Amino acid sequence: MRLFSSGPCSSVIYESFGERADLNGYSWATLSDETKLLYWDEFHKKCHWDDAKTPLVQACWENKAKERYKQYIYNISSKWKKSTLKKTLWTSWTARWNTEDFKKKSEQKKIGVEVRSFGDMIRHTMTILVYTH
């Protein structure tokens, strides 16, 4: 599932993260439902669709929002000096990121991404080989 006009939709989603930061929002999974709802409401204010498609759009939005939030957190963590994030939030998030449990899970996810990326590369290569013969 993809959002139509993915680029502009992606920008609207990303910009909504600046509307409110969550003390526990060091990852998408730890964001409060209230904060996620606020992000969804901001998206819904700026983007319009047939009401009958709302469940489908919301499912697509959720997938894209997870992806964009990961990038948002990465950008903040690598460019803290330029960020407008409050120091209390930064302190809370970095405290969590610095725990052994978080570091261990992060390493496991990196390995999973590398394996999936390698698998995608193989599948892509195999597709090219199949179609070039």
Same domain, 94 and 36: yes
For the chain, how many structural domains are there in total?
2
- Same structural domain for residues 93 and 107? no
Q: Is residue 83 part of a domain?
A: yes
Name the average pLDDT for the chain: 76
49 in the same domain as 37: yes
| Position with higher pLDDT, 45 vs 123 | 45
Domain that holds residue 123: 100-133
Q: Which of 47, 40, 52 is nearest to 4 (CA)?
A: 47
Average pLDDT over residues 109-129: 48
18 and 44 share a domain? yes
Is the domain of 79 the same as that of 109?
no
Give yes or no: residues 129 and 72 share one domain. Answer: no
Pick from 37-46, 67-76, 116-125 the range whose average pLDDT is largest. 37-46
Could you read off the pLDDT of 76-90 as tens digits, one per residue?
A: 777 655 456 677 777
User: Cα–Cα distance between 118 and 133 in angstroms, integer?
Assistant: 23
Confidence of residue 107 (pLDDT cuts 50, 70, 90): confident
Chain segment 11-59, per-residue pLDDT in tens: 889 888 888 888 888 889 989 999 999 999 999 998 888 899 999 999 9
63 & 90 share domain: yes
